[in-house]
Chain A
Amino acid sequence: MSRQSAVRADNRKVSAELFVLTHGALVAQLVKDYESDEEVNKQLDKMGYNIGVRLVEDFLARSNVGRCHDFRETADVIAKLGFKMFLGFSPVITNWSAASDEFSLILDNNPMAEFAELPEGHEGLLFSNILCGVLRGALEMVQMEVDVWFVQDALRGDETTEIRLKFIRKLEDALPAGED
């Protein structure tokens, strides 16, 4: 009765620094390649989206979460399981809208931006914008259309880093059989 097969050799975690520096280099290169911060933000979001649609399967395969039936549940899973699993910290969930269709994630200890300082003339740059894309892509794969954007970014001199998620609609036609 060996249970070994079920346990993944999960000692493959690399230092967060390698990831953080790689991401930093990526953003720096994009800043060089594109004229405007707007465009860089857009590219980061796009890349994030492509990562998100793949990452979500990894997340679902390794965690035992069921389907979320409201946005509050979704928020919990994202902050407490998703962020924890991939970035090693849990953002704080706040600022719920009255209709429970919007909330904010406060990323005070975002490891991605730990060493970065925005160069002059790039006040519009959203250094961690890739996260918005990841969230959007991942949620789209579980049939939730959301809007994700940065409200505040500590790197740009705001008080804190805040990502806002707004639920738009459930993608009914993409819903797998048996779950509609």
Chain B
Amino acid sequence: MAIFSVYILNRAGGLIYHYDHFTPKSEIEKTFSYPLDITLREDDKLVVIFGERDGIKVGHALLAVNGEPVTGKRLPDGREAMEVIKNQENYPISLKFGRLKLTTNERIMLASMFHPLYAISAKLSPEQRSSGIEVLEADSFKLHCFQTHTGLKFIVLTDPKQLGMDIFLKKIYELYSDFALKNPFYSLDMPIRCELFDTNLQKALDQSERSNLYSSNPSLA
């Protein structure tokens, strides 16, 4: 379970494909008594800004109140979630927190932001003819990027311990050239909506997990 997601960017930096393979579970449901010791920010989403506890982290959003999902800031019956939380009569109350999934629009935005970052990193390099970002390491994930000679970018987000991703990126490139480009009804530079590509990518992901080839962490094998 070490590959989180796969992204493909076209030559202009537009996101043409994304697939979430594995998302670390972050949802936590807890019963609270009055007063609530977690501070929520109230803008378009209800996000924790202070008072981390029991695995509920800053940045998590309020997902449900007493099992009823929060959409926008409202409960299914139209009540404002914030009103309910502030009212002492509603306690004890069960709240579910978790990290919100990125929306497609947010992903598109982030992808097109990564594109210039890649270019800047290539320019910043003191060495001549240096490539852009190949690996970007963070404490909770690692980003592997492979740019083809035609300018496409394949990006894989993995566990920080994951190794051997260059082989896997090359493999995705092959799958792309087979199942997207050889599909005569796929137009170049457009989002990839090909079922065959999806299934074969999943197969490759499963395979990479099963074989030790890509996994450096023996506990995962």
Give residues in A with beta carbon < 8 Å to B.
1-3, 5-6, 8, 53-54, 56-58, 60-62, 66-67, 141-142, 174-179
Number of A-B residue pairs, CB cutoff 8 Å, is 76
> Chain A contacts of B148 at CB under 8 A?
57, 60-61, 176
Is B199 on the interface with A (CB-CB < 8 A)?
no
The reply to whether B119 and A177 form a contact with Cβ atoms under 8 Å apart is: yes
The reply to whether B170 and A5 form a contact with Cβ atoms under 8 Å apart is: no
Given the complex of chains A and B, what is the CA–CA distance between A6 and B211 in angstroms? 11
Is B173 on the interface with A (CB-CB < 8 A)?
yes
Given the complex of chains A and B, what is the CA–CA distance between A175 and B129 in angstroms? 13
- The 8 Å CB contact of B167, one of A1, A2, A6, is A6
Given A54-B181, A54-B188, residue A174 in contact with residue B130 (CB < 8 A): no
The reply to whether A53 and B167 form a contact with Cβ atoms under 8 Å apart is: no
> Chain B contacts of A8 at CB under 8 A?
174
Given the complex of chains A and B, what is the CA–CA distance between A1 and B211 in angstroms? 6
The reply to whether A177 and B204 form a contact with Cβ atoms under 8 Å apart is: no
The reply to whether A61 and B170 form a contact with Cβ atoms under 8 Å apart is: yes
The reply to whether A1 and B122 form a contact with Cβ atoms under 8 Å apart is: no
Nearest-neighbour CB distance to chain A for B170, whole angstroms, equals 7
The reply to whether B174 and A178 form a contact with Cβ atoms under 8 Å apart is: no
The reply to whether A176 and B151 form a contact with Cβ atoms under 8 Å apart is: yes
Nearest-neighbour CB distance to chain B for A156, whole angstroms, equals 31
- The 8 Å CB contact of A62, one of B132, B150, B174, B182, is B174
